[in-house]
Structure 1
Amino acid sequence: METFHEQMMFGDSLSVFLPNDAKDVSEIREIPDNQEVFTHSQTDQSVIFEILEYVKEDSHQHAMRTHFEDGCLSNEVGEDSEIITIEAVPADRIQMEHAECVWYLKGCQRVAKFNEDAKNTVEIHMALFRLPQFDSDILVTFNNPLEISPLSSSHAAVPVSAQPWTLQHFQCIVDSLKIINTDIFG
């Protein structure tokens, strides 16, 4: 596995270790203030960090499902999505001491990029950090395209030398996420 580098985010309030080939999307286009987005330099993979309002549900699993469904609405996925698994992440793996708990979701979406008609099949990995003391959730989403439509703007040959990110990369990202300055929560 290639090396990682420490990346400061949200005005140096959070830190995470990202693969060296991660590119900061904010250098290319505007990103909402509550997000940090990084893409793989040679594939269509991305990792999104979002600071969101705490979802008050009767269980953490339902909160995870709510965030996934909100993402489906934002992506205009409709019925083209499925949740494969939702499970707790062992606390001893996580460096973020402020998190009450962390939940993992694996899902799949058939989604069009940039309002195109062509739909791509994207494997979704999410980690939800529950922070009730700050009335916030931190959601980390790894988008891993499995099938890209030939009609999609994303359809391009991936170089043979490209080393796509794996679930292990995502786990390292999730495990390394830390809050440096709690003032980010207001």
Structure 2
Amino acid sequence: MSFTTRELFGGAITAMAPENLVDASDLRQVPDTQEVLLYPDSSASIIVEILQRVDATEDDPAIRYHFDSLAYDNSAQSTGVDAVVIIPNTRDDNTPPAIRLTGVQTVPKFNLATPDQVRILMALFRVEDKHVDLVVTFNAPVVSQDDGALSEDGWAAMQLHFDAFIRSLRIVDFGLFV
């Protein structure tokens, strides 16, 4: 799979991503505080969202807050967090380190009796001086009622895509967070 540098929020943020991703704003309305990229061959997606900084002084509770908020928004029937780790920024720029969470949510869709199982890969970049939490979420259905589930190989690839995305994510223009 070929990767390309994606310009997000008009180029204020860049990250490496598969080049075949579809920009959801070409298909539907997307809020100004979000960038949504869709995988063309599954129900998997990437959401980059600018949020108000949550009042948590430690990294683990901050990312768990965002994970729980996503679960609430998705009406998740159950959730689980597998791991939370910090990925340091090894580049010579001011992008904060990523706080990485892996987890799962059981999400009902389209009023179907059997809910989808969605693996969640989430990264939190805390831009302290701008009072912003930049949240990157990869939604990867592994059990889906609409044939959008990822295979085991698809899930493995998604993890590699996520790792490349968050390790390459660069905030180019902090003026975005005014």
Q: So what's the TM-score if we normalise by structure 2?
A: 0.89
74, 80, 103: which one aligns with 1:82: 80
SS at match of 2:11: coil
Quote the Cα distance in structure 1 between the aligned partners of 2:93 and 2:88: 12
Give the corresponding residue for 1:179: 171
**1:55-105 Cα deviation digits (max 9, x unpaired):** 121311000110000101111114x1111111111332x676231x32110
Sequence identity (%) = 29
> What is the Cα-based RMSD across aligned positions, in Å?
2.3
Unaligned segments of structure 1, at least 5 residues: none
SS at match of 1:64: helix
Whichever structure has more helix as a proportion of its residues is: 2
Give the corresponding residue for 2:161: 169
Quote the Cα distance in structure 2 between the aligned partners of 1:57 and 1:23: 34
Give the corresponding residue for 2:5: 6
CA contact (8 A) 2:141 2:149 kept: no
Aligned residues: 176
How do 1:35-50 and structure 2 match up within 5 A?
Answer: 35-50=34-49
Q: So what's the TM-score if we normalise by structure 1?
A: 0.85
SS at match of 1:91: coil
Quote the Cα distance in structure 1 between the aligned partners of 2:149 and 2:82: 29
Quote the Cα distance in structure 2 between the aligned partners of 1:143 and 1:41: 14
Which consecutive segments of 4 or more residues in structure 1 shift more than 2 A?
Answer: 94-98, 112-118, 154-159, 162-166
How do 1:6-155 and structure 2 match up within 5 A?
Answer: 6-78=5-77, 80-92=78-90, 97-99=94-96, 101-113=97-109, 117-149=113-145, 154-155=146-147
Quote the Cα distance in structure 2 between the aligned partners of 1:146 and 1:157: 5
